[in-house]
Structure 1
C-alpha cells in the first residue's frame, strides 16, 4: 500500500464534508494511500475507518464466518449479563414502541460487541438478518468495520453512522445510532442501538437511544446499590425522579461508591473519582445531616451546596436494612426506623420496610372493614395470596373462613359447580349429597379469587350476578341462597386493558375494582435483606434450621442484584433448598448451599433467563436438543407470548389448561 501526505482541501473542490462524493473520495484515498484525508470526514469517523483498515477489512468484502458466537458461547454471555438483560428489556420494549413503524430494529450488545437481544419491525427483519443483525453476531469494528455499535464501543461515546459512512459497503443501507451503557463505577457494560433503513433515519434517533441507555443505567444503579445510601440529585426539586436526575451512591462512612453520568457531571467528578472521593470533599454537607433530614421528612428534597458554590437539590433513598450501618446520630428511633403502621396485625407482621408494599397494605387496611372489594395486581410469585390472607386476618372477618380459588387451575367443565355448588343429581357425575360450592363456603368470611383474569366469560356473567344480588343459585337449584362475604381478587393481567379488548367483562371489572393495590416485584423492592431474614425465620420454624441462620455478606449482595423472575416464590424456594443443605452446626448460608442453577446464574456461568416476549426476536432462540427440550421450549415460548396467562398459552399450544398444568408440574420434580 502506497503512502502519501494528506491532500489539501483544494484537491477536492465543492465536496461537502460527509456528503456522498466526499465519502467516496475518502474511501478511495484510504484504499490508495492508507489513511483518510482531513476535511472530508468527521474525526471520529476517520479514526474508525483507519481502525477498520488496520484490522484487514476490505470495504467491499464480506463478513468473516467466525464472527458469530456458538450456541454455548451465546448462552454463557446471556447468563453473564443477566442483570443487564433484565433491566434493558423493558426499556427496549418501550423504545421499540417509539420506532415501531419506521422499519427499525432495537439491539442490545455486550461489551465485546456481540448482539444479545433484538426487537425488530417485521418489515425490516429480512434485511437485518442478511447482514447478521441477529443475536450471537459480533458487530465489533474488527469484524464489521465502522458501525454504530462497534464504534460506540471503541469511542465509549454515543455514535451515529448513516448510510455510506459504514466502512463495509454492504452495510450502507443502514442508519444506526448507538449509546454505551455504563455501570455505577463507569465500567462499560454494553451498547444499546437502533438500526433502520437509511431512508427512514431520523434526526432525533441518537437522542432517543441515548436517553434510553441512561434509563437502563439508572435502573441498574438502583438495583446494584441497594446496600448503599443513594442521593437523587437535580438543579430543580421537580427534576428528582425524572430520567434527567443524577444518582449518587454513598457508603455508610460517606464515600462516593457509585454514580450515573448525570450525577458525576452535577458534582464535577469523573468515573475515576468513584471510590476515591468522600462526599464532604464535593459538597458542603455532612452525611448524618442529610440522613437526619431524611428521617424527619423522607419525601422532601433538601438543598445541597457544592464546594464550588452551585446549589443542587437532593433526596435520600435507602433500604431499611442500611439503617444499622449509618452514623448513630442520624439513625431513626425504633419507632421511626420502621415508620411502620401503628398496627399490630397480620399485614404489619409481613411488613419488612418496602415503601411501595407498605403503601399497598395501608390502603387495603382502610377498606378491610367496609363492603369494598379489593383487587391485588402484581407479577406471578409476588405474594398476592399471602397478602390477601393477611388482609383477611387483619379485618373483622378474621375468625370466619378464608376461601381461596385459583380461577386458572379449575377445569372449565367443573368451575361452575365448584364455585356455585350443585344439588344432588344436578348432572352426570354430581355428588349424591350435592355440593355447597366455594362461594357459600366463604359465608361470613373472605372469598379470594386468584387469577380472575383467566375466568371464562360465561362464568364472569354468573359471578357478576352473585355480586349484584348477593345470592347464589346452585347448579340444578330453583331458588337462590343469600351469601355474605368480603371479596378479594388477584391477577397478573392488566384487567383494564382486557376489558377494553373484550376479553374480560367491563361491568365485572368495575364491580371487583373497588380498590386496586399493586404489589412490587422482588427486583423492585428496597427491603431485600430484611425480607430474606423474615423468610429464614419462617423456615427456621418450618424446617428446624437454626433460628439465627444468616446469609454470607457477598452472597447476599449477589442475591439482591439477581432479577428473580419468579419473585418471592422463587426466593423462598431457593432459601428452603439452601437451608436443607446446611450441615450440623452450620448457621451461615453460602455459595455451596445453593441449587446449582442459581449458583451458576449468580456467578455468570449458567443458562440465562429466557428473553421477554418481543414483537420479533431475531435469532434469539437456541435450538432444543431433544424431544423433551422441544416440548419445554414450546411451553416456555407460549407462556412468554401469553405473558404468563396459562389459559391463553394452552390455547396457543392446542392443549387443555389442565394438561399444561400437569406438564409444568412434571418439570418441577
Structure 2
C-alpha cells in the first residue's frame, strides 16, 4: 500500500467516525461526504480494504446488454462523437446501465491497465460494490457529477477521475449513465469542469435521440425559452398522442412541468400543460415568426416557444383482395401499437391456414384474447373455441380431460363415456394455454393428434378423427425447455408453425387506448380524472392486461359518483416487487427462490428465473397466502404448488418443509 493510499484511508475512516462533526478540511464536497457515509453505514464497505474492480463474465454482461439492445444502437453514435472529442486527452468513454454495469466502452485497448482499473466493458461501478465513484454516485443521486482522485471511497481508485451524467427514458426513469474517465488528471477538481459540461451535453443528445426514435409516430413538441435555437437545439421535448395526451417527455421537460410530484406529466391533457386548445396545434407546425410560436404554460408562470411535428401520414393502403383486409376481431386488439400491429397483420394472413400457431408473451398480455380473435376471424368462427389451461388441470386428470375416456376405463371413471376437450373442439379451434406445463408423457399423445388428426380416448381401441386448428400459448421459453429435455422437440416444431409474440403492456404505445377500451364495460363507459389516468400511465403493470382490468373493475366498484378519481384506485405497489431482469448481482440473489432443505433442489432454468423470482415476490407480498396469489394469477392451487415445488420455493409457514 502506498503512503498516499494509507493517508486517504485514514481520512475516510475519520470522516465516517465523526460524520457531521468532521473538520471542514475532511468534508470534501457535500455529495462526496454523503456518499462516503452511505458506503460505511448502508453498504457496509470497509474503507481499509482495497477492492479489485468487478468485471462480469461475458455471459452475464450479455444479459445486461440484451436489456438495452435497441437503446445501445441509438447511444453508440453519441459515444463515438464524444470519444472523438476526448480520446486525445487520455479519457475512455463508458456507458453503463441503470445498475452500474458497463454495457458499452470506447478506449485505447492497448492500454493494459484499463481492465485492472475497471475502465472496461463489463465493469460493475454500482456504489454498493465500488464505493463512491462517478457512475455509482450518479445513479444514487440522479445528478451529473465528477468524482475526482481522492473523492473515491476505495483507495484503489484514487488515481482516477470520473465524470458522469444520467440518461433518462421518456417516463423519467434512469436508463443509463454516460461516463468519461481517465487514469490520471491534474489535482484541482475544477480541471474537469469542461469534461462535466461535455458529458452532460452528450447525455442530453443521446436521451433526446432515443426519445425522438421512440415517438417518431406521434406528435412531437419542441420547446425552448427563446426562439433562436428552437429548431436547432430545443431544450424541452414532449410527445402527444392524437387525443392530446402527453405520452412521453425528456428529463428537462419533466423538471420544468412536473412541479406537482403527485401528478405525473404523462397522461395530462394538452390544455393542462399549455394555455391553448389542442385543436389549434396546427399553427405551430409551419415555420412562423417568433411571436406566433409563443405559448404560455397553463399556470401562467412562463412563456415558451414551440414547434410541433405531426405524426407522419400513414401510407395509403394499396388495393388488396377482400380476403386480405384486416378482420375486425383482430383489428380490435390494438389501438395503434406498432409492435402489436405487426403481429396482427401477420396473423390476418394466416387466419384460415391449417398450420398450428404459437403465441408467446408475459403472463396477462392477452394471449387467449389473441387466439379468440384469430378464431373469430377465420372460417371456423361458427364452430367451438375450446380453451385448455394445461397448468390448471391436475396431472392425474389432464389425460382424460383432453382425450376423453370410455366407461370404467380407469379408477374413478364414471359409468358413461366422456368426450375429451379435443373432440369438443372438432371443426373449431383448440387453444392450449401454458403448453410449457404439459406433462411430458402427454406430449407424445398430443403430437399424434396434431400429426394424424385423430384422438384415441382412454380405454378405446379405435381412434376418432378430428378436424381442428391448434393454437398454443406460453410465457416460457420453449426452446430452453427443449434443450433441457423437458419438452419434446418434435412437438415444439409442430406447434411452432408460425409464432406471434405479444408485447407487455408497459411497452405498448397505445396504453391510453387500452384504458379507454376497458373502461367501456357492460355498465357503460366510465369517466376518469386526469390525475387517475396519469397514475395508471406511470405504473409498470407487471400483471399486464389482467392487472389493469382488475384495477379498473375495482375502481368502478368503489367510486361514489362521477369520474374515477385517483383515490378510487387500489394501491399500485406490485411494480416495486418486480425482480431485476438480468438475474445478476446481489439484487437477483435476494430475489432468488429459497431452496427446500428437505428435498434436493430442482434446477431452475435460466428462462424461468424471472418467473420464479416474480412468483416468490408475489407470495411474499401476499404473506404467503397461496390461494390469494393463485386467484390473482388465474391458476389453481394445485398448479401453484406444482410450480413452487419445481422452482424450489418454500413457504416459511411450512414448519415441516412441505409446500402444503
Query: Is the TM value for this pair above 0.5?
Result: yes
Asked whether the equivalents of residues 218 and 247 of structure 1 are also in contact (C-alpha less than 8 Å), the reply is no
1:478 aligns with 2:461: yes
Rounded to whole Å, the distance in 2 between the matches of 1:50 and 1:146 is 20
Aligned partner (choices 590, 593, 614) of residue 565 of structure 2:
590
**What is the aligned partner in structure 2 of residue 181 from structure 1?**
166
Is this contact kept in 2: 1:382–1:568, CA < 8 A? yes
Deviation at 1:557, TM superposition (A): 2.4
C-alpha contact 1:422 1:474 (8 A) present in aligned 2: yes
Specify whether residues 429 and 592 from structure 1 end up closer, same or farther in structure 2 by C-alpha distance, changes over 3 A only: same
| Alpha carbons 1:217, 1:260 under 8 Å: kept | yes
Q: Structure 1 95/475 Cα, relative in aligned 2: closer, same or farther at 3 Å?
A: same
> Alignment partner of 1:523: what SS?
helix
Q: 1:450–1:218: structure 2 CA closer, same or farther, 3 Å change rule?
A: farther
Task: Tell me which residue corresponds to 1:235.
Answer: none
RMSD: 6.2
Q: Residue 108 of structure 1 corresponds to which residue in structure 2?
A: 99
Q: Is the 8 A contact 2:440 2:488 kept in 1?
A: yes
Structure 1 match to 2:118: none
Distance 1:555 1:273 in 2: 18
What is aligned with 1:423?
A: 406
Whether 2:481 is the aligned partner of 1:491: answer no
TM-score, length-scaled by structure 2: 0.56
Query: Which of residues 546, 567, 573 is equivalent to 2:544?
Result: 567
Equivalent runs, 1:349-368 vs 2, <5 Å: 349-368=332-351
Secondary structure at the counterpart of residue 388 of structure 2: strand
1:407 matched to 2:402? The reply is no
* Pairing 1:208-287 to 2, within 5 Å after superposition: 229-230=219-220, 248-250=237-239
Question: Residue 650 in 1 paired to residue 640 in 2?
Answer: no
Three-state SS of the structure 2 residue aligned to 1:608 is: helix
Contact 2:358-2:471 at 8 Å conserved across structures: yes
Whole-angstrom distance in 1 between the partners of 2:146 and 2:621: 44
Q: Output the CA distance in 2 between the equivalents of 1:350 and 1:649.
A: 33
Stretches of structure 1 that go unaligned for 5 or more consecutive residues are 1-19, 35-48, 70-88, 99-104, 110-132, 199-208, 233-245, 276-285, 293-303, 308-325
Three-state SS of the structure 2 residue aligned to 1:488 is: strand
Name the counterpart of 1:373. 356
Aligned residues of 2:535 and 2:566 also touching (Cα < 8 A): no
Q: Which residue of 2 aligns with 1:506?
A: 489
Q: Secondary structure at the match of 1:551?
A: coil
CA deviation after TM superposition for structure 1 residue 529, in Å: 1.7
**Displacement of 1:404 after TM fit?**
0.5
Q: CA deviation at 1:156?
A: 4.0
Contact 2:150–2:158 (CA<8 Å) still a contact in 1?
A: no
Q: Report 1:144-183 matches (<5 A).
A: 148-150=135-137, 156-157=143-144, 167-169=152-154, 179-183=164-168
Distance in 2, matches of 1:563 and 1:226, equals 22
CA displacement 1:557-585 (0-9 Å, x = unmatched): 231121100000110111111111232xx
The 1:401/1:171 distance shift into structure 2, 3 A limit, reads same
1:395-435: CA deviation from partner (whole Å, max 9, x where unpaired): 11111111100011111111111111111111110121121
Contact 2:529 2:565 in 1 (8 A): yes
* Equivalent residues of 2:402, 2:421 under 8 A apart: yes
What corresponds to 1:126 in structure 2?
none
Partner of 1:16: none
Matched, 1:611 2:579: yes
1:377-392 alignment to 2 at 5 Å?
A: 377-392=360-375
Change in CA separation of 1:158 and 1:526 when aligned onto 2, cut-off 3 Å: same
Describe the superposition over 1:491-534 as per-residue Cα deviations: whole angstroms up to 9, x where unpaired. Answer: 11122232233222111111111111111111111111221111
Write the deviation string for residues 614-659 of structure 1: whole angstroms up to 9, x where unpaired: 24434856999x99966369999xx99xxxx965443234789xx9
Distance 2:490 2:31 in 1: 67
Q: In structure 2, do the counterparts of structure 1 residues 252 and 381 end up closer, same or farther at CA, with 3 Å as the change threshold?
A: closer
- Mapped to 1, the partners of 2:517 and 2:167 lie a distance apart of 34
Q: CA deviation at 1:185?
A: 9.0
| 8 Å CA contact 1:364, 1:374 repeated in 2 | no
Shift of 1:490: 0.7
Could you tell me how far 1:553 is from its partner in structure 2?
1.7
Over 3 Å counting, the alpha-carbon distance change for 1:176 and 1:527 in structure 2 is: farther
Partner of 2:452: 469
In the comparison of the two structures, how many residue pairs are matched?
471
SS of residue in 1 equivalent to 2:386: strand
Using the alignment, how far apart are the partners of 1:186 and 1:441 within structure 2?
47
* Aligned 8 A contact 1:23 1:165 in 2: no
2:384 and 2:424 in contact (8 A); partners too:
yes
Which protein has greater RCO, CA pairs closer than 8 Å, 6+ apart? 1
- Secondary structure of 1:617 counterpart: helix
The answer as to whether partners of 2:358 and 2:499 remain within 8 angstroms in 1 is: yes
Contact 2:217–2:311 at 8 Å: present in 1 too?
no
How far, CA to CA, are the matches of 2:132 and 2:450 in structure 1?
Answer: 66
Corresponding position of 2:555: 578
